[in-house]
């Protein structure tokens, strides 16, 4: 990697999201690269040949003897959401900074499945796939097992998985994710889509749905999928797995093993189109959903886990959400507005980044949030 590289942003079909993509990619790189490398590279947005790009200036190693791990850094750049490609700056004329001499650099292929796993299923209210990738990257970066994102061993949970956008991203990364969704229609639609996709792409797989019962009480359904490129891998149990729980997210602490999750990624109800169930009734307040579910989520997290929650600032105040998470033993690291961008008239979206309060790197990661505050417009 040269001293300066440019990450070209892939175009987004969503016009509103495209307008925010530059600032979001910079914020994402700040946290992901900062957490992985231990130091934040110099980052700035640029336009090269009319295309939006993120400039990454390689940080100097902490010690003179420390050799940079180029392969690991390349893999990290490849996972960043919306990265179309990377160009190394070979020479730059101070008189014409917008026309540098560039060299394309091949990045490792970190995705194990084609993009149609994420893009085929369309429905109203679906989260933008690039934004979903950003959430996954952020939660993984906060985990002490962050390298599991690159080798497929990171244990990821989406406790509000809807129709599986996050689960599909996790599968493409080679993970074996777990999701939970209370809406039976969403569960059935995602299960049908996944089965069709696996058959269409000729993946060897099993897909089974059973009742989800705890202490004699039926909470909903459990769908278990296992997929592999060939029969031998599937028989050995070396393929990927996916667990889809059709149940109330507030009951997950009773269903899943304690301290089994490295990264929790959630798109909280926006209080506009959908809500969550608590005490047998639908709660349209995102704050109430969070208050009811957060203690159970905390019990599932390993001490070094990371959390990324998308929220609507119009219906969930940062300070109130932080207080609720603190009561559950979780520490919010990101500042109010750190990932703020408009989705539509009723949704002013942001991201809450958090870790368990006994996370071994909590103070170090909190410093990333403090550094970012000066960059928030």
Are residues 24 and 142 both part of a single domain?
no
Residue 192 contacts residue 186 (beta carbons within 8 Å): no
Within this chain, do residues 5 and 148 fall inside the same structural domain, yes or no? no
**How many domains does one find in the chain?**
2
Last residue of a domain, one of 92, 109, 126: 109
Domain boundary among 109, 142, 166: 109
Residue 197 sits in the same domain as residue 289: yes
In a shared domain, residues 366 and 264:
yes
235 and 176 share one domain:
yes
Q: Are residues 302 and 322 in the same domain?
A: yes
Any residues with CB less than 8 A from the CB of 281 and at least 6 apart, and which?
none
Please give the torsion angle defined by the CA atoms of residues 154, 159, 162 and 166, in that order, rounded to the nearest 10 degrees: -20
pTM over 0.95: no
Q: Which long-range contacts (CB under 8 A, 24 or more apart) does 358-365 make?
A: 358/303, 358/329, 359/142, 359/144, 359/303, 359/304, 359/305, 359/331, 360/144, 360/303, 360/304, 361/144, 361/304, 362/331, 362/333, 365/35, 365/142, 365/333
* Same domain flag for 89 and 165: no
- Specify whether 152 is located in the same domain as 198: yes
Domain coverage including residue 305: 111-373
Boundary of a domain, candidates 61, 89, 109: 109
CATH code assigned at 140: 3.40.50.150
* 132 & 99 share domain: no
CB burial of 271-309 (b: ≥16 within 10 Å; e: otherwise) equals bbebbbbbeeeebebbbbbbbbbbebbbbbbbebbbbbb
Over residues 254-305, the pLDDT tens digits come to 999 999 999 999 999 876 544 444 445 555 589 999 999 999 999 999 999 9
16-56 pLDDT, tens digit per residue, is 778 889 999 999 999 999 999 888 999 999 988 788 899 99
């Amino acid at each position: 990697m040269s001293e300066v590289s440019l990450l070209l942003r892939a175009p987004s079909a969503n016009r509103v999201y495209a307008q925010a993509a530059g600032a979001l990619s910079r914020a994402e790189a700040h946290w992901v690269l900062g957490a992985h490398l231990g130091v934040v590279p110099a980052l700035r947005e640029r336009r090269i040949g009319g295309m939006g790009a993120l400039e990454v200036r390689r940080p100097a190693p902490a010690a003179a003897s420390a050799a940079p791990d180029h392969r690991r850094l390349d893999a990290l750049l490849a996972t960043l959401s919306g990265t179309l490609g990377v160009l190394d700056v070979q020479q730059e004329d101070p008189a014409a900074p917008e026309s540098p001499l560039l060299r394309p650099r091949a990045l490792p292929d970190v995705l194990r499945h084609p993009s149609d796993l994420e893009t085929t299923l369309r429905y109203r209210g679906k989260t933008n796939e690039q934004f979903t990738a950003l959430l996954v990257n952020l939660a993984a970066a906060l985990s002490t097992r962050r390298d599991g994102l690159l080798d497929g061993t990171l244990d990821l949970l989406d406790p509000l998985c809807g129709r599986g956008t996050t689960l599909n991203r996790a599968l493409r990364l080679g993970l074996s994710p777990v999701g939970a969704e209370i809406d039976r229609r969403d569960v059935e639609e995602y299960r049908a889509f996944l089965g069709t996709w696996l058959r269409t792409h000729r993946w060897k797989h099993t897909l089974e749905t059973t009742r989800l019962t705890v202490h004699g009480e039926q909470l909903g359904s459990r769908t278990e999928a296992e997929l592999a490129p060939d029969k031998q891998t599937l028989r050995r149990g070396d393929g990927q797995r996916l667990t889809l729980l059709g149940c109330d997210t507030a009951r997950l602490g009773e269903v899943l093993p304690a301290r089994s999750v490295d990264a929790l990624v959630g798109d909280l109800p926006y209080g506009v189109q959908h809500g969550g169930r608590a005490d047998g009734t639908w709660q349209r307040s995102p704050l109430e959903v969070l208050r009811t579910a957060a203690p159970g989520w905390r019990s599932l997290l390993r001490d070094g886990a990371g959390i990324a929650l998308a929220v609507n600032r119009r219906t969930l105040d940062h300070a109130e959400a932080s207080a609720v998470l603190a009561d559950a033993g979780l520490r919010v690291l990101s500042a109010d507005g750190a990932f703020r961008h408009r989705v539509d008239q009723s949704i002013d979206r942001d991201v809450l980044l958090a870790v368990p309060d006994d996370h071994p790197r909590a103070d170090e990661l909190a410093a990333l949030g403090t550094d970012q505050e000066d960059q928030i417009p």
